[in-house]
Structure 1
Amino acid sequence: MLNPRIKQGVQVATSLVIAIWIFWFLYKDIEIESLLTQLRSSNWFWILFSLGIALFGFWLRGWRWALLINEEEGSKVTANRAYHAVMVGYLANLLVPRAGEVARCGVLSRTNGISIGHLLGTVILERSIDLLFLIGTIFLAFLIENQLFLSLAVQLVDLDGIGEKLLRNLPILIGGLAVFLIFVYYLFKKFRNHGLVNKLQNFGRQLVSGLKSISTLKNPFGFWASSILIWVIYFMTMYTVSLGIQSTANLTPGQVLLVMVMGSIGMVAPVQGGIGTFHALVAYILIQFGVSEPDGKIFAAIIHGTQVILVLLAGLISWVIMTRIPAWIKPDKQ
């Protein structure tokens, strides 16, 4: 059996190789001069403005996270300290996919004396809320650009053929679904004491409990308002960059929203910083809007590259600040 560290190293190396391969495959035909020309012709006021918006979004994430953290454990977490921990997490994600969640919990546990378990619980809740908002954003994009959604679906699959097959085999499908649900119920009942089943059940209970606990926060309105604003900021970050680049300056807000959705899906992929997957999905949707393939790829490279530079700079500053804060020492009880 492989050593856990070796196994993790293989997983990280594999994801990095996949990311680099996708990136190389996308950009192997793009000339450097084309990229430089696009950079020189871009309106950098809008691009730099987008970075300012993104930085505020990072701080808002820290503020929202601080609302979830229990003040009875350790010392009170300020919005600024939570922001620095979030940036350390983003920095870690550039090196190891999904490591950021553990990294930001680790640095905050060291400086504020809060258990890793509690912090991870708040991060899981955050991610669950973000997933709900991503689904909601996809639905909103569908409402605004439903014709494009349908045309893309037609390109990818034969909707008419699928519809006919579904209707023809509807009784079989209903019966199969019923059998599947009974089978799942039987498995959960028979193996309810199995470790994996217990973990799934506990995760479900924790998620439901976490959603309920939001209503008991001191500032539930602030939590939901900031969650909405975070996604508005994602959109504004993408929209301001599109204004700064000639090939995308004429995109409508609805089209930019769809580009943002595709980029968000690309960032979810288990590769370092969404490298390759973000570029592929963003370029693909831009081509559907009539943007040339080279310009679509260059747009994806500019917005992703500037965001990575921002995360590197802000993340390193936050890492230095957090490492200089003394470790929290539990006060002696009198």
Structure 2
Amino acid sequence: MRLNIKQWIQVVISLSVAIWIFWFLYKDVKMESLLDALQQASLFWIGMSILVSTFGFWLRAWRWKLLINTDLEKKITTSKTFWALMVGYLVNMLVPRAGEVARCGVLKKTDKLQVSKLLGTVILERSIDLLFMLLVIFVAFVLEREVFVGLAKDLISLDSLKLAVQEYLPLLVGAIVLIFILFYWITRRYRDHGIVKKFQHFMREFLTGLKSVSRMDRRAGFWLASIGIWIIYYLMMYFIAIGMPNTANLSPSSILMVMVMGSIGMIAPVQGGIGTFHALVAFILMTYGLSEEEGKIFAVIVHSSQVLIVIITGVISLLAVAKISVISKPEQDGLRIK
């Protein structure tokens, strides 16, 4: 994936912010403390966390395959969507959110699929993930209501939030309406222009991807996989928690709260949630009685295990995609000669 100067500047700024947050969090944490925590931790449970997390990536690839194969005569395999997915996660370690486009680009290269339609499936997939994340937050709120209320009082002024909504909501609605009117006028006024036609074609393919969930053959499998992905997220966090002495006594609902905070940290527009994940996980663990250092050490172990999976499987996936491209190129050349 080639980046222009503006994109490189954005990458550098984002990475600098992530590194600064990480340094600020861990500048007072001694390496000896981290090594001691690793020695005391159960390698079996950390290994189980890595294993189940890897299966979670595979399950996500299988679910994505169901969406993609809805309108295809020649179906693609889970292995190809897995390679594309892991390349996307690897790209996200460099450029936040660029991995979603990168994984679509991989399937365009290996299977000649249209990126616009693939993007529709990715956005649908992410929208469903957001829906499940909100559901998980609601469950955590029910189970850990006192913690939620305490955090809200400490972090948010409800009166100020209400005044801000009343003040800026009309402006936001007006801006959205104006954008839609402007967009409609441009598409009608210049409907015969090449750029507008290309955009309309892109949107048709994009919407086709979004609608794929209503036409797929294995809808039950899709929704079960969506539930399974979040169960696996929880187990990944739970296994490491019970494998470390400082967090082994946390209740299942407390670990759910830790997972929620970590998931929110991963949404931040920094590479791989670096810094934001650690800050929020450490913060919520302090609420449950752990020291600041213990919370930060737990966060770095969880995050590092995920980064390790992404780097190893991402590099292997890159090699697999490169091999497919090398094999398919002679075949395409042979077809041209014929």
The AA in structure 2 aligned to 1:148 is V
- Partner of residue 193, structure 1: 185
Unaligned 5+ residue runs, structure 2?
188-195
Whether 1:226 aligns to 2:218 is: no
> How far, CA to CA, are the matches of 1:206 and 1:111 in structure 2?
19
Secondary structure of 2:328's counterpart equals coil
Does the CA-based 8 Å contact 2:90-2:314 persist in structure 1?
Answer: yes
Please identify, of 87-96 and 33-42, the stretch whose mean Cα deviation from structure 2 is larger: 87-96
User: What is residue 321 of structure 1 aligned with on the other side?
Assistant: 320
Moved more, 16-25 or 178-187: 178-187
What is the one-letter code of the residue matched to 2:134?
I
1:118 shift after superposition:
1.6
Mapped pair 1:269 → 2:268: yes
Paired residue type of 2:185: N
Q: Which amino acid aligns with 1:193?
A: W
Whole-Å Cα distance in 2 between the matches of residues 6 and 286 of structure 1?
A: 40
Pick which of 311-320 and 181-190 moved more.
Answer: 181-190
- CA-to-aligned-CA distance 1:186-245 (integer Å, 9 cap, x gap): 5533553357xx9xx999999887665412101111111101110110011001110111
Take 1:36 and 1:49, find their aligned partners in 2: how far apart are those partners? 20
Q: After superposition, where does 1:202-217 map in structure 2 within 5 Å?
A: 212-217=211-216
How far apart are the structure 1 equivalents of 2:121 and 2:175? 33
**CA pair 205-322 structure 1, distance change in 2 beyond 3 A:** closer
The 5 Å alignment of 1:115-126 reads 115-126=114-125
Partner residue, 1:259: 258
Letter in 1 for 2:97: R
**Whole-angstrom CA distance in 1 between matches of 2:218 and 2:168:** 46
Contact map agreement 2:88 2:99 (CA 8 A) in 1: yes
Report what 1:91 is aligned to: 90
* Separation (CA, whole Å) in 2 of partners of 1:209 and 1:310: 32
Task: Identify if the C-alpha distance between structure 1 residues 84 and 187 changes in structure 2 by more than 3 Å, giving closer, same or farther.
Answer: closer
Q: RMSD value over aligned CA atoms? A: 3.2
Q: Given residue 27 of structure 1, which amino acid in structure 2 is its aligned partner?
A: Y
1:40 aligns with 2:32: no
TM-score (norm 2): 0.85
Are the aligned partners of 2:50 and 2:309 in contact in 1 as well (CA < 8 Å)? yes
Deviation at 1:310, TM superposition (A): 1.5
Secondary structure of the residue aligned to 1:270 is coil
Change (3 A) 1:190 1:274: closer
Which segment drifts farther, 50-59 or 127-136? 127-136
- Kindly indicate whether residue 290 of structure 2 is the aligned counterpart of residue 291 of structure 1: yes
Structure 1: gaps (5+ residues): none
1:298 partner letter: I
SS in 2 for 1:140: helix
Cα deviation, 1:248-267, whole Å, max 9, x if unaligned, reads: 11111111111111111111
Percent identical among aligned pairs is 51
1:27-66 matches, within 5 Å, as 27-66=26-65
Q: Kindly tell me: are residues 278 and 189 of structure 1, through their superposed partners in 2, closer, same or farther at Cα, counting changes over 3 Å?
A: same
Change in Cα spacing, 1:50 to 1:181, as seen in structure 2 (3 Å) is: same
Residue 190 of structure 2 aligns with which residue?
A: none
Aligned to 1:143: 142
Q: Is the 8 A contact 1:267 1:278 kept in 2?
A: yes
Give the equivalent residue in structure 2 for 1:238.
Answer: 237
Change (3 A) 1:209 1:151: farther
Amino acid paired to 1:14: I
Looking at structure 1, the residues matched to 25 and 204 of structure 2 have their Cα atoms a distance apart, in angstroms, of: 42
1:248 alignment partner, SS class:
coil
Query: In the alignment, residue 122 of structure 2 is paired with which amino acid?
Result: V
Per-residue Cα deviation, 1:15-70 (whole angstroms, up to 9, x for no partner): 00000000000000001100000000001110100000001000001100100114
Q: Which moved more, 1:285-294 or 1:204-213?
A: 204-213
